[in-house]
Amino acid sequence: MKKINKLQLITLLFWSLSIGYNIQLVMAHDLQKNQVTLTKQGNQCLQLDFSLAPIDSFHQLLASALPLNAFFNEYATLPAETFNVKVQHIAALFKNNIIIIAGDGEFLTITALEMPSSTLWQQVLKEQRILHLSNASIQGHALPIHITMSACSTQRLSRVQVHVDPHLYPLLVIASAHDQFWLTQHIPSATVDF
């Protein structure tokens, strides 16, 4: 049996760990569709920056009962005014179905919500419909849609509990580089300390 010197052993160990690490990154990337980053703003406010897969999110939030083909055919061809009403419905879902509770039990008030225009969202839907209908292998890789919202407390925030609309699951919650977790049907809320 051939002996391995220390340098070869260290190289082999490093190479083995690197391969395992890269595989985990790829697997985590494949699973990650929707995410939200929580950032404390001052002493009393919290900013939530959502990065959402536009097609999956729009489909789940508004028409989850429709098969994907029917969803594309119906929503990509809606008149702009009608589509805008649908996007406003999503805004209402975010305002009403995302609940943030401070450590003392206070429900935080949503003070701001910024979303892409309905025109941008419909353009992405139309582009993805074309790819879907042509059976393109890149279907589903649209750039994420970003939605930002702020919520404020009447008191200093040190802990919050976050609940989101179940249609956004699975949702990766990022509170810091070392505090990340998934919200799912089985884990519907997250508690974050600041």
Q: Give the residue-averaged pLDDT of 4-11.
A: 46
* Predicted pLDDT at 6: 52
- Asked if pLDDT for residue 17 goes beyond 80, the answer is no
Query: Under 8 Å CB-to-CB from 150, ≥6 apart: which residues?
Result: 41, 45, 46, 47, 48, 110, 111, 112, 113
Query: Under 8 Å CB-to-CB from 65, ≥6 apart: which residues?
Result: none
- Hey, what are 52's tokens? 């959402």
pLDDT tens string 62-91: 999 999 889 988 999 999 999 999 999 999
* Predicted pLDDT at 141: 63
- Asked if pLDDT for residue 8 goes beyond 80, the answer is no
- Asked if pLDDT for residue 182 goes beyond 70, the answer is yes
* Predicted pLDDT at 33: 82
- Asked if pLDDT for residue 46 goes beyond 90, the answer is yes
Q: How much is the pTM? A: 0.79
* Predicted pLDDT at 131: 81
Residue with tokens 């910024």: 114
Which one, of 84, 187, 100, lies nearest residue 149 by Cα? 100
| Residue 41 backbone class (left: φ over 0; alpha: ψ -120 to 50; beta: rest) | beta
Q: How far apart are the first and last CA of the chain?
A: 55
Identify which has the larger pLDDT, 1 or 130. Answer: 130
The percent of residues above 90 in pLDDT, for the chain, comes to 67
Instruction: Quote the CA–CA distance of 115 and 87 in Å, as a whole number.
Output: 9
* Predicted pLDDT at 128: 86
Instruction: Quote the CA–CA distance of 48 and 149 in Å, as a whole number.
Output: 5
> Using an 8 Å Cβ cutoff, are 161 and 98 in contact?
no
How does the average pLDDT of the chain come out, rounded? 83
> Using an 8 Å Cβ cutoff, are 53 and 60 in contact?
no
pLDDT tens string 100-154: 999 999 999 999 999 999 999 999 999 888 887 787 555 446 789 999 999 999 9
User: Which range in 6-15, 27-36, 125-134, 158-167 is most confidently predicted, on average pLDDT?
Assistant: 158-167
